[in-house]
Structure 1
């Protein structure tokens, strides 16, 4: 056999191996692009109050792009991974500074019989269990998250240095658990987090409950040496605990649901922020929400939700506030991947006597109102690829 023939034979054999490997492995580029025009009736900008009108990124769905993949290892086992980054369409900027894959970066093993183990930066078990039972995941997206996304049900932050197990579905039941390491020598419990959740999905009925506990979350800007970075969490605190339960029922073509969560922030570390006046205090939220969504036609859907968040501040300042928010959305699908939407929300807070918590703020903007109420209206486009 000549050298040329040998080279051709080797190339043919290598090509066959590559084809086999490709047939057993998949890598997918995916993403969500969400941009809108936004109107806020009241914003406090450095002591100057007034309305705000401009572009808004991720008013409905968080804008991300990523890579995900799976390799068939045989016997019902698969190697899996996901790399995901959040950014702003308005200017193309990284949403979290220099972090490359700032939303998710994990690798793991999935077994069809025994479940999935993943390692890296990922959503907590609480998000996995409760988001599908919330207005956030059902219709409203970021605008319908609970105030400050205080319970993280909307996935406001992901967790670094985490090991998570998710079970297969057995008789409608499935559960997951996570532990995230501090990665700090001699400080095993400093900025560590654990969570677990259980769900039941059978026919039109969906139930779930979850718990999450973070010790000194957001104690550092970058979460390499900790579970949660301060550039992601709603509030830095000495300890954060969240538990909740919810239910969703599919009724005909539509769906209705209820969700309750309780979140606790002990020893707030808010110096130098808009909430400096509650630094060192303890803050508790009780969130009650009800929502529904109905496809009016094959392309047009309507959704609406109401949330009452009771906020309890204790310490040198004691106060109880009642935060009410109504969210309404209409969306029209131009195709399976492209949707136009209009969404409006109104929030009103009673109580607080002028402390920072008494100023309304929509969950997705972080822009404090100059008063105890705020109205937000957006019209935008969402494209999924």
Structure 2
């Protein structure tokens, strides 16, 4: 028979052992994601109409793991890993990248802010770009032509360090540096981004800056550089730029069920010794949008954008792009949404082809960022989608 003293001793030993183990129950890991697929009609893709399936139109098809472990005194260790995929084929969105969308680890303090390291989105997008057309019209058909100004989730920074401040009186800021990894030249292939965001009741204002540096790579923009950004017929003649710079200002204002927004972006492609063009190329985009929740499950959004390029590098009739986008949503539940998208774009003027200076071509329309590799062969392009998106 076991004595009371023995039972008490065993209890003390058990409690001591439990206390010595890490407090794993205090941490958390969450699996999350979206599955999104649609039927698509495009009136002209490189000269022919097309009917096909496309994923990630309303929400990017993705899954991820994120976690946090409280360390005490308001400090937590955090991480987030996210991969995109195509539910139509089961393939990775980017072959060879297990977590292509982002992968970072960091520390978060309720008073001092957040410091993260890894592959990340830029402050330019997170604090400013999210007030733009992609949030309310989608990137597939609502992003400005070819996502020329990076308001969608196309720009990511490898090997980057980001600091984001806490929100004080509605204002927060963030700054990021992406290492290029070129020996002997810290600037080569690097990225720098900074942004401010102000939220006060119905008003939200964001401003962002982004500078992406190329290396001495002569084949375009070095794929080994920190930055990745979208390529299309809009900017194919300028991919050999020494630097690519984005500046943007955006704002939204909410009145009951109605949200109104305006946005502006300025994109510069600056040449260098290895560039295939000689003059700085400029793209200015002006946009407006509105989103209205008609009933609890149904909402509609619309937007217009005008993009104009500069008359440089032998071009006298500058490229111009006008786009109208619509989005209709019916929420079957908090997680499941039926959607329809429509967009029309008209292009005029001229731009540079992939061979750079001397290769002057007619500007081709590219609706949103869903047609970056399939521009229309005429001055117009129309895209319509009907899809289903589920979040988990």
- Structure with greater Cα Rg: 2
Helix, strand or coil at the partner of 2:271 = strand
2:24 counterpart residue number: 21
Helix, strand or coil at the partner of 2:222 = coil
Helix, strand or coil at the partner of 1:200 = strand
Structure 1 residues 41, 268: CA separation in 2 closer, same or farther (over 3 Å shift)? farther
- Normalising to structure 1: TM-score of the pair? 0.88
Q: Give runs of aligned pairs for residues 22-171 of structure 1, distance below 5 A.
A: 22=25, 24-44=26-46, 49-171=47-169
Q: What per-residue deviation string (whole Å, max 9, x for no partner) do you get for residues 225-248 of structure 1? A: x31247x66653321001011110
Distance 2:13 2:300 in 1: 59
Deviation at 1:282, TM superposition (A): 4.1
Structure 1 residues 270, 253: CA separation in 2 closer, same or farther (over 3 Å shift)? farther
Distance 1:296 1:270 in 2: 53
Distance 1:39 1:331 in 2: 18
Distance 1:317 1:109 in 2: 49
Q: Give runs of aligned pairs for residues 174-185 of structure 1, distance below 5 A.
A: 174-185=172-183
Deviation at 1:320, TM superposition (A): 0.6
User: Does the 8 A contact of 2:45 with 2:376 survive in 1?
Assistant: yes
User: Does the 8 A contact of 1:192 with 1:216 survive in 2?
Assistant: yes
Distance 2:105 2:17 in 1: 27
Structure 1 residues 381, 309: CA separation in 2 closer, same or farther (over 3 Å shift)? same
Unaligned runs of 5+ in 1: 272-277
Unaligned runs of 5+ in 2: 353-359
Distance 1:119 1:353 in 2: 38
2:322 counterpart residue number: 324
Structure 1 residues 227, 135: CA separation in 2 closer, same or farther (over 3 Å shift)? same
- Normalising to structure 2: TM-score of the pair? 0.86
Helix, strand or coil at the partner of 1:152 = coil
Aligned partner of 1:381 among 363, 368, 388: 388
User: Does the 8 A contact of 2:133 with 2:151 survive in 1?
Assistant: no
Helix, strand or coil at the partner of 1:320 = coil
Distance 1:7 1:120 in 2: 46
Aligned residues: 367
Deviation at 1:142, TM superposition (A): 3.0
Distance 1:201 1:146 in 2: 24
1:258 counterpart residue number: 262
User: What RMSD over aligned residues (CA atoms) do the two structures have, in Å?
Assistant: 2.8
Deviation at 1:64, TM superposition (A): 1.3
1:242 counterpart residue number: 246
2:227 counterpart residue number: 228
Deviation at 1:18, TM superposition (A): 6.7
Deviation at 1:263, TM superposition (A): 0.5
Structure 1 residues 282, 313: CA separation in 2 closer, same or farther (over 3 Å shift)? farther
